């Protein structure tokens, strides 16, 4: 398994548009083979800060996400909305080790 | 719902001890009323960096976590292991909006 945690900082005027675009990306992503979760969170401290929590059963499945039509559409839509470049970090899972919990 | 994303930087010599302590904290936390997830991830880039992904059904349930015996034990055990102070950020959930997906 691989979980990529992506930190996103959006220009304040694009908050609603980013949420809309990201909901569509979520809907497509959770239907991908190998996707375990694709959560989208908004900071309670600063509404312009988001976290994407992208869990895949393998590195291959994670990479394949970037080849999907919904990802490419999202990437283009949100490009002008970024306040700073996105920062994604890949992680290995310590807990829960049980795959059925994902 | 509230999801707290906690960034943890551990002194390299404590990586294994931090994992052991955090597994116990995970086991206790997922049994708390109101807990939806309590994931523990290790960076694939730097093994001394961890993320705790703590999802609770309410702010009250999230706060109650810090009163549990397993949290207090973990907090004391890991205190000397920290390379820098932990940084926890509370988030609201955009996706999945469906509670059954948590």
Tens digits of residue pLDDT in B23-71: 999 999 999 999 999 999 999 999 999 999 999 999 999 999 999 999 9
Assess A90–B contact: CB distance below 8 Å, yes or no: yes
Exposure of A21 in the CB half-sphere (CA atoms within 13 A): 21
- Which residues in chain B are contacts of A23 at CB distance < 8 A? 94-95
pLDDT tens track for A74-100: 999 999 999 999 999 999 999 999 999
Confidence of residue A39 (pLDDT cuts 50, 70, 90): very high
Out of B2, B40, B94, name the one closest to residue A22 (CB).
B94
Residue B8 distance to chain A (closest CA, Å): 13
Confidence of residue B75 (pLDDT cuts 50, 70, 90): very high
For residue A89, give the chain B residue with the closest CA.
B43
Confidence of residue A33 (pLDDT cuts 50, 70, 90): very high
Give ∠ CA B24-A62-B1 in degrees, rounded to 5.
50
Please give the DSSP secondary-structure letter assigned to residue B82: B
Residue A35 distance to chain B (closest CA, Å): 13
Assess A20–B contact: CB distance below 8 Å, yes or no: no
| The pLDDT value given to residue B71 | 98
| The pLDDT value given to residue B34 | 96
Assess B91–A contact: CB distance below 8 Å, yes or no: yes
> In terms of DSSP bridges, do strands A35-43 and B2-9 run parallel, antiparallel, or are they unpaired?
unpaired
A101 close to B38: Cβ distance less than 8 angstroms: no
**Domains of chain B with bracketed CATH:** 2-101 (3.30.70.100)
Assess A19–B contact: CB distance below 8 Å, yes or no: yes
Q: Which of A39, A43, A92, A101 to mutate to test the interface with B (most CBs of B within 10 A)?
A: A39
For residue B20, give the chain A residue with the closest CA.
A94
pTM tops 0.90, yes or no: yes
Please give the DSSP secondary-structure letter assigned to residue B46: -
| The pLDDT value given to residue B72 | 98
Give which of B77, B93, B31 is closest to A51, Cα–Cα.
Answer: B93
């Amino acid at each position: 398994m691989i979980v990529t945690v992506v930190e996103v900082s959006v220009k304040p005027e694009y908050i609603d548009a980013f949420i809309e675009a990201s909901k569509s990306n979520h809907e497509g992503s959770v239907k991908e083979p190998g996707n375990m979760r694709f959560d989208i969170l908004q900071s309670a401290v600063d509404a312009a800060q988001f976290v994407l929590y992208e869990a895949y059963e393998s590195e291959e499945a994670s990479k394949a996400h970037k080849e999907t039509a919904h990802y490419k559409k999202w990437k283009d839509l949100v490009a002008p909305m970024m306040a700073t470049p996105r920062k994604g970090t890949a992680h290995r899972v310590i807990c829960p080790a049980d795959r059925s919990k994902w």
